Amino acid sequence: MDWFVCSGMKTPTQCISNDIGSGQININGLLNGDSGYFSDTTQWYPNGVSGTFTVVFKFTFSDVDASDDVLSYNINLTAGYSDVSVDQGQDPRDTLSGLHTYDGEFVLNTEQDYVMSISGTAHNCGECNLVAYMGWNLRDLDGTLLATANQSVTTLPAGGYEQPYTISLPALNYSVPGRYIFEFGLIDSLSAFNGDLNDYNDLAEIEIVLDNTLDLRIASMYPSHNPSSPDYYYGESMLSVDVENIGNFTVEDFSITFEMFDAVGESEYIQTCNIDRLGPSELSTCMFNLTKVGAGKELRIYMPTTFDGRPDTAPSDNTMIEFTQILAGDILPSIAMNSISGSYTTADAIEFTAITNNVAAGPLNYTWVLDTVINIGYGKSISINASSLPLKDYHIGLYVEDALGFTAEAHTTISIIDEVIINEQPLLSGSAVSLDKAQFEYDVMLPIEGFNYNIAGGKEPLMIMDFKVMQLESELQPAQLQSLELDVNLSALLPDSISHDSVEFLELSSLDSTLWDYLESPDFFAYDELESINLNLHSNTIVLVIGALPEPNVSLSNLSHEKLVGGAIELTWTPQGDIQNPYLGGWRIFRLTVEGSVGTIFPDPAVQTNLNLWNELLAESSVELVPTDSEGWVDPVPLETGTCASYAILPTNRAGVPDTSR
């Protein structure tokens, strides 16, 4: 196969006889029905020449069908290259806002400017000095050009490689409604190198609709208090009217008129509602007053049939009439407060809101009265600082008068109480609420030594907490406590060895008593699963804190005895371990005596571990309880000649109960 290159636009015959470059491609091994790619190892170089060239490929020898033995095409060689392309598939209308859609399609109006943006890519050399005329063509569906607009753009990216761009088109404005083809992109171009060199990607197109149908309608008229109710009530804004734009044209600055007629057709009341703007498919609601009570009323709603010189295409629905009666609704007042209980602390703002029947004849006038004689405000809602009122109960009265002169009233009571903020960190925080000016007092102590509180379930008394809320002016008198809420930090109250989730709060009858009971509603406590217990009380209370108490790790070493003059025995030892543990009561000493060969002694605890035996031996043999840090003891009862003594020493809890495991 031979190839030829020639200058200019030429036919294959002309090009072959006037070529400026040629060569040959060898085609070998191509079987019947096969296809292949072949090239010449010799290349053609234009050597800086620019312009239009013709390229021809021709088989050296003709075959039986010479019609497809020659292929020719044209190329354009240039020293500078520019190509502006428009992204296909885009819809410039997407860059507009507030467009109406009909059957899922955007609708534009005639005689209105629409400035849209488009995007694409530009491959433009820096020295090309490209002037791109970007714009649009509006064509009929048969392709006839109806309108066009473009503007010169010299700011497209130039760098010798493809770069994206976004530009604004000239405003689209056309005066005839219809369906059209909207072409957009590069309309024309100029540059130092023949402008845009590829025209196949210059334009994109969409189909658009221009329509000016103007159609407003009175969609509905109904009672404002309940759209489904057949009854209309006297009062402000008691009639609602929905106006809808079902056309394709936005209407601005127009009025809806309401007129009410009596049973004989005399106009009793007229009112207008102004609508600034109503776009296609939009709905606006106007509310009107109903100012007369009685039967046989005609309610008429109407609006213009021409808007700024444009006629409504369906004016029959621009008026709506309904015959009905206007009723006077009951007031039915009640008082809403920002406290469910009606109790307020001196730090609170008291808010009262009047609740009335939604069909009461408005406008309504509200008067608020304290203790039947003191006027405290007007209006639907009022606010009072509780700190401005003495601590006590108050009667609140609400008096409401409607537009027809009828009145109704509602009443409630409130209590002003004192709130004491408690901040005894890290142990306590919370607040106390009382009917008196009050102060909070508390005391924390260990369970009384020697007292057995008879706690079951493997738990022990850990702490006693005495909570009091007393009158500020009379410290010996309890305040009228309403609630005491405390957060007790267990980490600050108890040793780290005590598991927080084992802790419980009980109620003691008095500080010097071991009688306790469970907290009963409304009093309660709750563990927060972290380190605190929330305690809620409603009276001054002594709390007994109990929980699982690990056995103190204590022991005695170097235990020895010495016989003193007169038959006395002195025991000495070295205490070891957690002897400062506050829940350790001390060392209890037990003694058994043997006269001659008669009697029992304490067995070796390392050998004899039977608790029943030990309990029996210890039951009546206790002689003394000594402090935990003691290092010895002298038996105050001397032994007679021939009498032997056996001693056992055990650690005890604060109640004095020995730990037989030791």
pLDDT tens digits for range 291-314: 999 999 999 999 999 998 889 999
DSSP string, 585-637: EEEEEEEEEEETTEE--PPPTTT---HHHHHHHHTT-EEEEE-TT--EEE-SS
The pLDDT, as a whole number, for residue 642 is: 86
Under DSSP, the state recorded for 14 is H
At 71, is the pLDDT very low, low, confident or very high (cuts 50, 70, 90)? very high
The pLDDT, as a whole number, for residue 164 is: 97
In a domain, 659, yes or no: no
Same domain, 610 and 579: yes
pLDDT at 431 over 70: yes
* Half-sphere exposure (Cβ direction) of 651: Cα atoms closer than 13 Å: 21
CATH code of the domain covering residue 493 = 2.60.220
Average pLDDT, whole number, for the chain? 93
Q: Give, in order, the Cα–Cα distances in Å from 135 to each of 94, 95, 118, 149.
A: 17, 15, 10, 5
- Highest averaged pLDDT of the listed ranges 192-201, 296-305, 469-478, 620-629: 296-305
In a domain, 661, yes or no: no
Last residue of a domain, which of 417, 443, 477?
A: 417
Q: Is the pTM of this model over 0.85?
A: no
Q: Give, in order, the Cα–Cα distances in Å from 105 to each of 140, 148, 174, 209.
A: 18, 23, 18, 8
- Rounded Cα gap, residues 6 and 427, in angstroms: 102
Same domain, 157 and 244: no
In a domain, 660, yes or no: no
In a domain, 662, yes or no: no
The pLDDT, as a whole number, for residue 590 is: 95
In the chain, how many domains are there?
6
Last residue of a domain, which of 499, 532, 547?
A: 547
Same domain, 307 and 240: yes
On whether the CB atoms of residues 626 and 586 are closer than 8 A, the answer is: yes
Q: Which residue did the predictor score with more confidence, 600 or 376?
A: 376
Domain that holds residue 376: 334-417
Same domain, 314 and 342: no
Same domain, 479 and 568: no
Same domain, 591 and 613: yes
The pLDDT, as a whole number, for residue 519 is: 95
Roughly how many angstroms between the first and final C-alpha of the chain, as a whole number? 114
Same domain, 114 and 71: no
3-class SS at 318?
Answer: helix
At 108, is the pLDDT very low, low, confident or very high (cuts 50, 70, 90)? very high
Same domain, 159 and 230: no
CATH code of the domain covering residue 591 = 2.60.40
pLDDT per residue over 597-653, tens digit each? 777 889 988 887 788 888 889 988 999 999 999 999 999 999 988 899 999 999 988
φ/ψ of 76, rounded to 5, equals -120, 115
The pLDDT, as a whole number, for residue 227 is: 96
Q: Which amino acid is at 409?
A: E
pLDDT at 329 over 80: yes
CATH code of the domain covering residue 356 = 2.60.40.10
Same domain, 635 and 619: yes
The pLDDT, as a whole number, for residue 662 is: 63
Last residue of a domain, which of 280, 297, 327?
A: 327
In a domain, 286, yes or no: yes
pLDDT at 216 over 70: yes
Same domain, 250 and 176: no
Q: How many percent of the chain have pLDDT more than 90?
A: 74
In a domain, 179, yes or no: yes
Same domain, 457 and 537: yes
Q: Give, in order, the Cα–Cα distances in Å from 118 to each of 66, 149, 171, 253.
A: 48, 15, 12, 33
Same domain, 60 and 99: no
* Half-sphere exposure (Cβ direction) of 439: Cα atoms closer than 13 Å: 8
In a domain, 6, yes or no: yes
- 522 prior amide bond cis, ω within 30: yes
On whether the CB atoms of residues 51 and 77 are closer than 8 A, the answer is: yes
